[in-house]
Each structure stands twice: as C-alpha cells, then as structure tokens.
C-alpha cells in the first residue's frame, strides 16, 4: 500500500471522527430521506419556473413542470422553514396550478392548489400537455401509474443518501436483484448464469435470479445497446450515477407492454433531464487494499422560453483489489474450515511418473540434476489465487446530453445522447499451471523410471511468463430523438433511436502450446525450455517466444423506431377510459472477431459466426377502464388490459397479454392483482449454428443395462436450429395499507409467481449420466433411431469420430444441444414498510424492504424430477432485506442502512456445507449548507461508510474447474469497509 494512500485513509478517518462529533444529535438514518424534512428558504418574488427550480435545488425534491404552464407567472416571496411540499404549495398558491403525484414524481398541472397547499393524490384529466410530460414504468398511458403491479422507485434523494458511487452499486442494493450473472466480481470464478460471457467486465441486473437476459433494462424508457458476448445484457456500469434522476423497478412480467426480456421485470433508469442550474461533484473513497475510488463530475441545465438543455459529465476510477489482501481469497482454505484445493503444479515443478509424484528441489537451475536429488512422495504446490485481482481496475468517462424545444403549444422536439468509455485491467487466473510433456531430446530431461519415454512435469509457468493480464473496455453510445404532438386531449410521439456498444478484450502472458512443445523438444541447452529448476532457469528469449495471447472485439448495434399515442377514449360513470397504442420496429446486429495466438505457430484471425442482423416488428395496445369511482360504496376499481404482438425475423411471432386490477375499498387500503404472459427471444449466442459451432460425435456412454457396461450413441452438440423463444406466465397480488390512525406509515406486500417454460439449456454437464438415469433424461434420448437418420448424420461435414464407432453400432441419439428444454417455477413475497414523522426539532424515517423467495423449482428436462434450488449456490436466497433509518435536523442528516442476506447451502463440496447469513451496515453523515451560509450556500458534504463494521463475506468454498476460493462473489462483496468523502456544490 502506498504512503499516499495511507495518508488519505488517515485523513478520511479523522474526517469521520469530526463528523460524528459535529452530528452528535440523534443519528440514525436511511437511504430514503424524508420528503417532510424542513429546510430554510429565503426567496424573493421571481418567475415561477425559477422559484420552483430553486426549491427543487434546496430540498432535493424534484418537480416536473411544463414551461408553457409556468410562462408569465410570478411566484411570491418565500421566507422561513418549510417542507418541500409546503414550499411548492406556497409558490403555487393563487397561480391556478396544483401539484399531483405520478408514481414517485411531483407534477404541476392546472387546478387550484387549495388553501392548505397540500399535495393532491391523482392527476386530473383534460390536460394533455402535462400528461404528455411523464410516463411511469409499467404503463404506456401518460400521467398514470401501473394497474395491478407494484412499482418500486428509488429517487434522487435516495441515491444521494445511499453513499454509493456507481449505478451498479445502487441497483445491486435492491433486494429483488440477485447478484449472479455477468458482473465484474463473477468472471473467472464460475460459469453459472452466463458469467463467462462477460468479456468486457460489465455489470448486469438480474431480477428474481431468472437471468440478466430475462430482465429488461431501459434508459429513459428506451432500450440501450447491449453488452457481453452476443449482446447478452444491458451494461449499467456505463450509466453515470450523477446524471441519474431516479430508478423505477417493476418486478413483474411486462412483455405485453415492452416485448422481449421482460420476464423477471423491468428496470428503467431515468436521467436528470429537467435539471436546472449547475452542480459539481468530487468524491474520494478508500478501502483496505488498493481499491480506492475517485469520482469527478458536473451537471448543468438551463431553461428558456419553450426549451431546456441538460449536459452532464462524469469520470470514475477505482483501483484493483488484490486477492493477496483478503485472507479468504485463496485455494488453501484449511484455516477457514475448508479443504486445500491447491493443485500439484509448482515452480519448481513435480515429475509424475509411475503413479507417483517426485518434487523437484528448489535452489537449483536443472543443470546436472539427478534422480537422486528428487523428493519422492512430496509435492510442490502453488496457489493460483496468489497475485490475482478480485476486482479489476476500472476507469470510465461518461457524457450525457438532453434537449427539448417547443415549436408551439402543441409540438415539442426532444433528443438525448449518452456516450461512455470504460477501461479495465486485471490480473487473473490463466492457464499457466500446465503438464509439460518433456521428450528425451530435451537437454535437461530426467529419466525417473529408466524407460526413455517422455516425462510429465507439472509446472507453474507464472514464475517464467509473469502474471496473466486481462485488459480491455467498453465504448457505447445511445441516442434517441423524436417529436411529440398534441391533438386535442391526445398526444402522439414519433421517435427514432440508435445504439452501439463495442467491447474489446485482450489476455497476455499466456502459453502458446505449439511453440512450447517445440521449445521442450529443442536439443540446444541454450534455447531449450527448462522445467527442472527454479523460475527463470530458461533463456528469456525462449520464454518470450513461448508467450502467447488472445484478443477479441464484439460490436452490438441496434436501430429503432416507434410511433405511439395515448389519450382518453370516452367517459363512463366511474371516470374516463384511457388508451395507449403503439407500433415499434427494431433492428439488431452483433459481430465478433478474434485473434488467437495460443495453439498455432502464428496468430489466427477469425470472424466468429453469428446470425447477423435480425428485424423485429411489434404493435401493442393498452386500455385503462375505471369500473367503480372512488365514491362507490365498495370503493374504487380500475381495470387495465394490455396486449402486444411481436414478430422476429429469425424466431417467429409471439403474442403476450396482461390484465391488471386495482381495488381501493377505502382511502387507506388498496389491493392490486395482475396476470400476464412474457417471453425472451433467443440471443445471438443461442442461435449460432454452422461449421465449428455444431458437431456430431459417436461416443460410448456408461449404461448399466448393457452387458458391456456402455452403449454407443451419437451425440449432437452445439445449438439446435429449432430454438425458439422462452415463455413465462406471471401472477402477482399486492396489498398496500396506510393506517389512518398512524400518520406517515405505509405497508406494502406483494406475492409473485413465475412459471418459466422452454428455457434454453443443455445437459452437457450430465452427459455421462444420461443412460444411467434414463427416466430423468428421456426427453433428450432417442432410442433405436432409424438407420437412414443415423446415415445422414454420418454423412454430414459436422461429424467427428475419433473413436471410429461405425454407424451400425449406434443404439441411440442423445441431444446435447442448447434448445428449449428446461423450466423454472418461482414464487415469493416482496415487502416494504415505510414510516416517517416529525419528532422534536427533527424528522424521523424508518423503513424495511425485502424479498422472501418461497421456492425456485427447476426441471432440467420435461421428464426430470423437480428440484427446489432456492437458497443454494448460483440461485437466490430465501430472504434478502435492506432496513433504513433516517434522522434529519437542521442542516444535518444521518442515514443508516442495514443489508441482510440469509444463510444458504453450498452444494458444491461433498458433503454440502452451510453458509452463514451476512449482515452489513452502511452509514452516511451529511451536512447541507443553509441558503444564508454565504459562500458555502449550496454545498453538501457527505461522509459515507459502506460495510461500517468491516464484515468479511461468510465462508463458502466455491470451486470451479480450474480453481477455488473462500467466498461467493455472486452474493457477497470482497471490498470490505469503504470510507468515502463527497463534496457536492450547487451554483
């Protein structure tokens, strides 16, 4: 650790002590700051739009207002201490305008604010202009919230209070988001949940643990370009958190509105498009090790007559976190109660001959080494985790631009563009632990058995070649532009978009096996490869010649266009029937090229075969029908119907309906229910077919029913050409209760159920058990296939037959290809408790959010037995929660969050192990300079501590094919306690 880093860490610790002393008032807080917090205001009479923007800046409570509504209106002077809602109410009093709530947003629309300045409950019909300003995730009807489904919203104030620096950290704290899948901490540690396809080390969202490709991520309501090999997931690591306004999470199936991928749900990342003024940001954080982080950014926004412009820039950097800095990041886990998983590869190495190991002694260079000097029965071992990185070094630049302009009172042009460039570098577990077959021609050859045969030396080449290094990055641009036009009470939008994400990766300090074999067979002592001594015993020129690499580049592009309209249809006694209609077109393409210098004399350049461009056309409709009005004896009842038809040029057509109901028998009690169909279209990776990607191989599999103990079968490997969409049926039921006698308390509980069918999978991992467990795998076994079918496979160019098994011997065909094969049934309950109230001179807020999964029942095939995998490695745990406490008093705010994930079973070792629960605490102390603070006005200083008590991840012996470690990177973070100081200034 550098002296500079140590000084910074001591400085932050000292700052923390000073903050704690200064904030000696009651100090318990939460990521959800109170809307009821009182702030000091001293505003002169000024244009209404300017005054509203100033209240938004001081309070941190954003507001949506149409420029035309505020035009020509003057707000009165405002002086004193008010909550944000009270301040807005005072400014709007007498203006003919009112505040309404739409989702988590405050919206200004025509109407009387009332004498009390109280925020009203629902938007009023008839103002097409303001209703066209806002669309909430879960509905296509503007100015309305989703019917039947529970919407989770994380506001800008929640983001600031969380103490997190990046978008991926913010969404990872959502209890419904399972950390498995493509993320920077999972690549190289397991192949579960497509983690191995994350060549660009991006970050995904995985709602319900159904897969990152089964969660739809939107950027301001539009699909961004995708990351990962073949465009597998939306890379949220490219989204600058300082430009993020709020996050909406609909943890319910929504393909009826949004199309493919919306099985686990939809996450919409909404940007700060309506920000006004100038805000700058500086942050530095430090953790044990070299995982320091820095963040610099700014956002500027300006209103003018009929228009608005927002421009944001952010730079973020975090250092690598070495496995050497974490005691549990090792292959030798005996000290933690696990096994010693180190392999018999060392430097110096081990000779394996006659079924026995002979350790090569250290302190010599292999010249003149004799058999008598070897150490029979001893093994030189090395830890592959040593000198690797648990987290890579990451650096990111991001620029966001948003603009809108009214041409007249009915027409508005808009556009936005996000450009980001992220670079990474890490030391990783390569393939440098190798068995070197040393021929007798090698001048250092040692004949242990006297057989004059090639000798096997198990050797760790890292001492010669250096640490394997993986580097690369992702560069993305996402742009949309369009025009909105009002037609009486209806509004129509024509929009086009383009997105492109290019990822590149490179791995250095690997072995070229072709050139290694040549160097081992070399007869010249000056140039032959020497694996019989200490590291560095070989000529550096030879080592350089053996060194190999591989590099690649993948490009995902998407073009899109849409035409949508929404508005009222007609009136019923209970209210106005509203509808939304739309048509969408999308074109996607993925290409990949690689250069590999690992197994041939010279590098090989290849263009990986993907299906190329595909076209998607869709049409949807949504209708919201008020069945009973709020004045009805049994309460208010609303019905929502939605449907979408979507045609893919490569996998056909899907039709997905959804129905939702909201029943509010009293003002304090609401029941919601939904039913729908969702789907996921196969990715480009799922559709790859062709030479080298699909092959047929005869093989003898173990078979207890055979007299010989095995049966010749023909195995089909690769992707099935008949692969189609995955399909799901989803149900949800929600209860919301706000006890009238406990002001400020809201309770929410949502039951969910997902029946996921035709999931794309294969049974490769269990190939040798297929005939042993025929009942389980009957769906992939075709016994006694017709001779002409077997003959066609044998005549195909894709046949490979190393065992020379004749066609006449084939007794069955086993289908090991990726295809629509498996199914998952998952159900559980999401819950949220939120309580806020004034207390003495301050404001108190309490909350608890969580998700409890009852079961995750999986079937590998239709005939397989059902296995409940909830609470196991690679799958969601039963319970995950995030508690929050908030206290604000004057300029001070204290936020505390407690994160909990319950224990689970690690089924990888035999016997299975229990993994303990994990609880971490986050703390933030913040000071907001009051408006009368002179030069400090507008300054916010926050000291944040993640994992306050520095709790290590619970011990879990996670083994992969190549290595092992002592923690589960899908469910725990290795960073430990991170202390960050952040300065935010509004100018």
Task: Kindly report, residue by residue over 16-26, the tens digit of the pLDDT.
Answer: 444 544 444 33
Residues in the chain: 987
Q: Which residue has the higher pLDDT, 689 or 934?
A: 934
Per-residue model confidence (pLDDT) at position 53: 75
**Can you give the pTM of this predicted structure?**
0.86
Q: What angle do CA 511, 512, 513 make, to 5 degrees?
A: 100
Q: How confident is the model at residue 35 (pLDDT cuts 50, 70, 90)?
A: very low
Going by C-alpha positions, the residue among 397, 453, 463 that lies closest to residue 432 is 463
Q: Which residue has the higher pLDDT, 58 or 861?
A: 861
Per-residue model confidence (pLDDT) at position 76: 85
Overall average pLDDT of the 646-654 stretch: 95
Residue 808, both tokens = 């006449």
Give pLDDT tens digits for 287-330.
Answer: 998 889 999 999 999 998 889 999 999 999 999 999 999 999 99
pLDDT at 172 over 60: yes
Residue 234 DSSP label: -
Per-residue model confidence (pLDDT) at position 115: 33
Per-residue model confidence (pLDDT) at position 634: 92
Residue 213 DSSP label: G
Question: Residue 823 is inside which H or E element, if any?
Answer: strand 819-839
Residue 10, both tokens = 């001591």
Per-residue model confidence (pLDDT) at position 885: 96
Q: How high does pLDDT run on average in the chain?
A: 89
Going by C-alpha positions, the residue among 435, 426, 427 that lies closest to residue 460 is 435
Going by C-alpha positions, the residue among 764, 763, 752 that lies closest to residue 728 is 752
Per-residue model confidence (pLDDT) at position 44: 80
Q: How far apart are the first and last CA of the chain?
A: 37
Task: Please state whether 103 falls in left (phi above 0), alpha (psi between -120 and 50) or beta.
Answer: left
Sheet with 244-250, edge to edge strand ranges:
151-154, 244-250, 265-271, 215-219
Give pLDDT tens digits for 500-515.
Answer: 999 999 999 999 999 9
pLDDT at 265 over 90: yes
Residue written as tokens 């997105």?
499
Residue 878, both tokens = 């039963």
Residue 262, both tokens = 């919306």
Overall average pLDDT of the 388-394 stretch: 95
Residue 954 DSSP label: P
- CA–CA separation, 318 and 395 (whole Å): 7
Q: Spell out a b/e string for 554-593, using b for 16 or more CB atoms within 10 Å of the CB, else e.
A: bbbbbbbebebbbbbeeeeebbbebbbbbebebbbbbbbe
Rounded to the nearest 5°, which phi and psi values hold at 145? Answer: -100, 170
Quote the radius of gyration of the chain (alpha carbons, Å).
Answer: 31
Write the CA distances from 731 to 184, 623, 755, 790, integer angstroms.
33, 19, 9, 44
Q: How confident is the model at residue 71 (pLDDT cuts 50, 70, 90)?
A: low
pLDDT above 70 covers a percentage of the chain that reads 91
Q: Which residue has the higher pLDDT, 87 or 246?
A: 246
Give pLDDT tens digits for 963-982.
Answer: 899 999 999 999 999 999 99
Residue 912, both tokens = 């299975």
Overall average pLDDT of the 153-170 stretch: 94
Q: Is the peptide bond before 348 cis (omega within 30 degrees of 0)?
A: yes
- CA–CA separation, 98 and 125 (whole Å): 13
Overall average pLDDT of the 110-139 stretch: 48
pLDDT above 90 covers a percentage of the chain that reads 73
Per-residue model confidence (pLDDT) at position 54: 78
Residues in Cβ contact with 788 at an 8 Å cutoff, skipping those fewer than 6 apart: none
Residues in Cβ contact with 405 at an 8 Å cutoff, skipping those fewer than 6 apart: 306, 307, 412, 413, 414
Question: Residue 288 is inside which H or E element, if any?
Answer: none
Q: How confident is the model at residue 638 (pLDDT cuts 50, 70, 90)?
A: very high
Task: Please state whether 313 falls in left (phi above 0), alpha (psi between -120 and 50) or beta.
Answer: beta
Overall average pLDDT of the 61-74 stretch: 69
Overall average pLDDT of the 483-498 stretch: 95
Q: How confident is the model at residue 170 (pLDDT cuts 50, 70, 90)?
A: very high
The half-sphere exposure of 486 on its side-chain side, counting CA atoms within 13 A, is: 18
Minimum mean pLDDT range among 233-237, 338-342, 930-934: 930-934
Residue written as tokens 């500086």?
282
Per-residue model confidence (pLDDT) at position 129: 38
Going by C-alpha positions, the residue among 415, 565, 436, 611 that lies closest to residue 511 is 436
Q: How confident is the model at residue 776 (pLDDT cuts 50, 70, 90)?
A: confident
Per-residue model confidence (pLDDT) at position 26: 38
Greatest mean pLDDT among 63-67, 214-218, 702-706 lies in: 214-218
Residues in Cβ contact with 315 at an 8 Å cutoff, skipping those fewer than 6 apart: 294, 295, 296, 297, 395, 396, 397, 398
Rounded to the nearest 5°, which phi and psi values hold at 371? Answer: -60, -35
Q: How confident is the model at residue 1 (pLDDT cuts 50, 70, 90)?
A: very low
Residue 663, both tokens = 């029943």
- CA–CA separation, 379 and 263 (whole Å): 51
């Amino acid at each position: 650790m550098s002296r500079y880093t140590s000084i910074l860490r001591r400085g932050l610790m000292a700052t923390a002590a000073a903050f704690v002393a200064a904030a000696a008032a009651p100090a318990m807080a939460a990521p959800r700051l109170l809307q009821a917090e009182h702030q000091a205001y001293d505003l002169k009479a000024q244009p209404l739009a300017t005054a509203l923007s100033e209240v938004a800046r001081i309070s941190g409570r954003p507001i949506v207002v149409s420029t035309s509504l505020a035009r020509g209106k003057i707000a009165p002077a405002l002086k004193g201490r008010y909550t944000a809602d009270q301040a807005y109410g005072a400014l709007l009093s007498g203006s003919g305008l009112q505040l309404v709530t739409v989702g988590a947003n405050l919206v200004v629309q025509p109407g009387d604010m009332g004498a009390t300045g109280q925020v009203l409950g629902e938007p009023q019909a008839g103002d097409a202009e303001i209703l066209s300003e806002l669309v909430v995730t879960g509905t296509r009807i503007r100015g309305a919230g989703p019917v039947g489904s529970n919407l989770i919203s994380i506001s800008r104030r929640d983001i600031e209070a969380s103490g997190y620096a990046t978008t991926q950290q913010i969404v990872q704290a959502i209890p419904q988001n399972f950390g498995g899948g493509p993320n920077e901490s999972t690549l190289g540690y397991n192949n579960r949940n497509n983690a191995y396809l994350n060549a660009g080390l991006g970050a995904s969202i995985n709602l319900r643990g159904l897969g990152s490709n089964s969660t739809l991520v939107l950027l301001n309501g539009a699909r961004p370009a995708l990351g990962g090999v073949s465009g597998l997931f939306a890379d949220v690591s490219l989204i600058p958190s300082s430009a993020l306004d709020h996050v909406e999470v609909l943890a319910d199936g929504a393909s009826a509105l949004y199309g493919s991928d919306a099985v686990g749900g939809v996450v919409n990342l909404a940007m700060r498009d309506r920000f006004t003024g100038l805000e700058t940001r500086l942050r530095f954080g430090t953790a044990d090790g070299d995982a320091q982080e820095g963040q610099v950014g700014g956002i500027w926004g300006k209103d003018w007559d009929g228009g608005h412009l927002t421009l944001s820039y952010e730079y973020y950097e975090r250092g690598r976190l070495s496995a050497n800095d974490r005691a549990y990041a090792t292959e030798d886990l005996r000290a933690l109660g696990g096994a010693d998983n180190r392999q018999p590869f060392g430097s110096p190495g081990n000779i394996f001959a006659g079924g026995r190991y002979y350790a090569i002694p250290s302190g010599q260079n292999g010249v003149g080494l004799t058999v008598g000097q070897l150490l029979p029965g001893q093994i030189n071992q090395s830890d592959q985790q040593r000198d690797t990185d648990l987290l890579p070094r990451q650096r990111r630049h991001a620029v966001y631009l948003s603009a809108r302009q009214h041409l007249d009172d009915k027409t508005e042009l808009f556009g936005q563009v996000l450009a980001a460039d992220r670079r990474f570098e890490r030391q990783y577990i390569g393939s440098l632990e190798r068995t070197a077959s040393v021929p007798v021609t090698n001048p250092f050859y040692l004949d242990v058995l006297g057989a004059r045969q090639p000798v096997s030396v198990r050797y760790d080449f890292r001492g010669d070649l250096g640490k394997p290094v993986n580097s690369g990055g992702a560069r993305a641009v996402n742009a949309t532009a369009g025009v909105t036009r009002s037609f009486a009470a209806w509004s129509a939008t024509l929009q086009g978009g383009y997105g492109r994400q290019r990822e590149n990766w490179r791995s250095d300090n690997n072995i070229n096996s072709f050139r290694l074999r040549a160097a081992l067979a070399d007869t010249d002592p000056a140039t032959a490869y020497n694996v019989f001594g200490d590291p560095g015993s070989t000529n550096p020129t030879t080592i350089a010649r053996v060194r190999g690499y591989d590099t690649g580049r993948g490009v995902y592009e998407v073009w899109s266009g849409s035409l949508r309209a929404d508005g009222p249809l007609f009136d019923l006694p209970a209210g106005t029937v509203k509808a939304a209609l739309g048509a969408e077109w999308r074109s996607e393409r993925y290409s990949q090229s690689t250069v590999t210098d690992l197994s041939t004399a010279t590098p090989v350049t290849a263009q990986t075969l993907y299906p190329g461009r595909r076209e998607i056309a869709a049409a949807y409709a949504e209708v919201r029908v008020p069945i009973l009005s709020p004045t009805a004896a049994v309460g208010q009842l609303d019905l929502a119907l939605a449907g979408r038809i979507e045609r893919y040029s490569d996998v056909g057509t899907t039709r997905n309906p959804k129905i939702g109901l909201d029943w509010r028998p009293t003002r304090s009690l609401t029941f919601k229910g939904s039913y729908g169909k969702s789907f996921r279209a196969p990715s480009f990776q799922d559709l790859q077919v062709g030479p080298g990607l699909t092959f047929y191989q005869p093989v003898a599999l173990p078979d207890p029913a055979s007299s010989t103990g095995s049966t010749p079968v023909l195995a089909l490997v690769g992707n099935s050409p008949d692969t189609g969409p995955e399909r799901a049926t989803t149900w949800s039921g929600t209860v919301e209760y706000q006890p009238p006698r406990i002001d400020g308390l809201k309770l929410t509980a949502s039951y969910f159920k997902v029946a996921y069918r035709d999931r794309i999978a294969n049974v490769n991992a269990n190939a040798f058990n297929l005939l042993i467990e025929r009942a389980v795998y009957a769906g992939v076994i075709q016994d006694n296939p017709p001779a002409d079918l077997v003959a066609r496979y044998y005549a195909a160019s894709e046949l490979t037959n190393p065992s020379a098994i004749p066609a006449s011997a084939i007794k069955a065909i086993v289908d090991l290809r990726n295809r629509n094969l498996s199914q998952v049934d998952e159900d559980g309950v999401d819950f949220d408790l939120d309580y806020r109230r004034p207390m003495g001179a301050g404001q108190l807020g309490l909350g608890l959010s969580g998700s409890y999964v009852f079961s995750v029942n999986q079937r590998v095939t239709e005939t397989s037995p059902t296995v409940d995998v909830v609470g196991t490695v690679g799958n969601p745990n039963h319970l995950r929660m995030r508690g929050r406490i908030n206290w604000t008093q004057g300029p001070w705010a204290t936020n505390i969050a407690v994160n909990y994930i319950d224990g689970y079973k690690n089924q990888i070792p035999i016997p299975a192990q229990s993994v303990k629960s994990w609880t971490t605490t986050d703390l933030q102390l913040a000071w907001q300079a009051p408006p009368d603070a002179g030069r400090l006005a507008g300054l916010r200083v926050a000291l944040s501590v993640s994992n306050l008590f520095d709790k290590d991840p619970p011990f879990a012996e996670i083994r992969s094919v190549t290595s092992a470690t002592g923690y589960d990177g899908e469910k725990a973070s290795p960073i430990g306690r991170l202390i960050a100081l952040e300065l935010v200034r509004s100018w």
